[in-house]
Amino acid sequence: MGKRVLVTGAGGFIGSHLAEGLAAAGAKVRAWVRYSSRADAGNLEHLPRAGKDGLEIIRGDIRDPHSCLRAAEKVDVVFHLAALIGIPYSYHAPGDYVAVNVAGTLNILEACRVYGMSRVIHTSTSEVYGTAQTRPISEQHPLVGQSPYSASKIGADKLAESYFRSFSLPVVTVRPSNTYGPRQSARAVIPTIFSQLLAGFDSVALGSLAAERDLTYVTDTVQGFLALGACGAAVGKTVNLGTGQAITIGDLAEKCQAIAGRRVPIVADSARVRPEHSEVLALICDNSQAKALTGWTPQGDLKSGLQAGMQFISQHPDLFRPAEYQR
């Protein structure tokens, strides 16, 4: 309440929900989106008019240290979510991932150090663990860079840790599991499934069906961010957010078909399969630390969450191109 908060990556899927949630909680939110000549605010465009008007929307690029300094000026708390996130694209443009996810995070951390932020919430990903070596995955699990994307996020996480240890910057690293819900991009698996079903295709093209994922509804992820942002005991720690429940992509596709009311064959598309040693086969979150620190417990129901995601896709078909593989 009353805090001046910067959200980087506010035009993204989780970022837009977080900016909305912070504003609803009474924060003064500066929502930073990546500049484009179209003046596009990304997913913030889908907020109700009153919600969007309550945000200070600014534009820039975290790769530019001057932009970071301007964005962080006169701010109390920073939620850093800006990143390149598509794993398949990271095979084609690994340098972009280092520039945005590693160097961009460095720019944000340095701006926060210069201005003496009261709290910095840095966003990681469960992908940094690679395939689960222990189940569920705790924060002590080894970090394994199975893709250029996950390697770049490991680098960003270690920079955040170094700024806590070297400069006493009050950083909390939040490590969400696979978040889903309305506004998720076409490149994610759930929108991939629903967009093909809703378009009336006679089959659904997917990659690996055996991979297991821990699916967390977006409002639960946002509540986890808010809880950790307000938790002094979390400073200097890395904290998982997830349900602790796993589902295979094959079983997920079956649930999506039941919700959409259409059953069609699932077709293996070789272009969607990750390289052999890059596919993360299992991600199941140990969320006990988040619960112990803040009392956070995910409330979302998978069926209801999938229905909400499908509804958004059906209302915004122009955002999805089901005939193409979205990297």
Residues 202 and 222 in one domain: no
Same domain, 101 and 23: yes
Residue 80 banded pLDDT, cuts 50, 70, 90: very high
The whole-number pLDDT of residue 327 equals 75
What is the per-residue pLDDT for 61?
97
Tokens of 236: 């200097």
My answer on whether 133 and 230 are in the same domain is: yes
Q: How far is CA 138 from CA 146, 192, 286, 309, in A?
A: 18, 29, 5, 28
Range of the domain at 309: 180-213+245-319
Nearest to 148 by CA among 103, 208, 95: 95
Rounded distance between C-alpha atoms, residue 113 and residue 132, angstroms:
34
- Answer whether residue 326 is part of any domain: no
State yes or no: pLDDT of 218 exceeds 80: yes
- pLDDT tens profile 108-144: 999 999 999 999 999 999 999 999 999 999 999 999 9
Q: Give all strands (DSSP E) within the chain, no chain letters.
A: 4-8, 28-34, 56-60, 77-80, 119-123, 171-176, 178-180, 204-206, 212-213, 215-217, 238-241, 247-248, 266-268
Q: Is residue 209 part of a domain?
A: yes
User: Whole-angstrom Cα distance, residue 187 to residue 184?
Assistant: 8
Is the domain of 49 the same as that of 124? yes
Query: Tell me, what's the pLDDT at 157?
Result: 98
Could you tell me if residue 109 is inside a domain? yes
Are 218 and 52 a contacting pair, CB within 8 Å?
no
Distance (Å, whole) CA 130 – CA 128: 6
On whether residue 42 sits in a domain, the answer given is yes
Taking alpha carbons only, the member of 209, 183, 205, 213 closest to residue 310 is 183
Catalytic residue annotation: 149
Confidence band of 219 (pLDDT split at 50, 70, 90): very high
Specify the pLDDT at position 271: 85
* Helical axes 104-115 vs 65-72, angle rounded to 10°: 40
Which CATH number goes with the domain that contains 30? 3.40.50.720
Question: In terms of Cα–Cα distance, which of 132, 177, 9, 151 is closest to 90?
Answer: 151
Answer yes or no: do 131 and 207 share one domain: no
- The verdict on 139 and 208 lying in the same domain is no
Of 137, 171, 321, 85, which is closest to residue 246 (Cα–Cα)?
137
CB 149 within 8 A of CB 87: yes
Last residue of some domain: 225, 241, 257?
241
Per the domain annotation, does 325 fall within a domain? no
Mean pLDDT, residues 198-215: 94
Q: Same domain for 87 and 133?
A: yes
Label residue 48 by pLDDT band (50, 70, 90).
Answer: confident
Residues 129 and 187 in one domain: no
Domain end (from 241, 256, 279): 241
pLDDT band at 146 (very low <50, low <70, confident <90, very high): very high
Dump pLDDT digits (tens) for 147-190.
999 999 999 999 999 999 999 999 999 999 999 999 999 989 99
Are 236 and 104 in the same domain?
Answer: yes
Side-by-side strand order, sheet with 238-241 = 56-60, 28-34, 4-8, 77-80, 119-123, 171-176, 238-241
Confidence of residue 107 (pLDDT cuts 50, 70, 90): very high
Q: Average pLDDT, whole number, for the chain?
A: 96
Whether residues 9 and 114 share a domain: the answer is yes
Residue 323 pLDDT more than 80?
A: yes
Q: Kindly state whether residue 324 falls inside one of the protein's structural domains.
A: no
> Residue 63's pLDDT band (boundaries 50, 70, 90)?
very high
Q: Are 9 and 27 part of one and the same domain?
A: yes
Average pLDDT for residues 259-281, to the nearest whole number? 91
In a domain, 327, yes or no: no
CATH number at residue 314: 3.90.25.10
Q: Is residue 87 part of a domain?
A: yes
pLDDT value for 191: 96
Residue 240 pLDDT > 80, yes or no? yes
pLDDT for res 132: 95
pLDDT for position 52: 83
The residue among 241, 258, 292 that closes a domain is 241
Pair (151, 267) in one structural domain: no
Mean pLDDT of 263-281: 89
Nearest one of 206, 297, 289, 280 to 249, comparing CA atoms: 206
**Dihedral over alpha carbons 14, 19, 23, 24 (to 10 degrees):** -10
pLDDT at 324: 85
Per the structure block, which two tokens stand in for 155? 């680098």
When divided into structural domains, the chain yields a total of 2
Reported confidence tier of residue 278, pLDDT bands at 50, 70, 90:
very high
Reported as a pLDDT band with limits 50, 70 and 90, residue 50 is: confident
The 10s digit of each residue's pLDDT in 82-106 is 999 999 999 999 999 999 999 999 9
- With a pLDDT cut of 70, the percent of the chain lying above it is 100
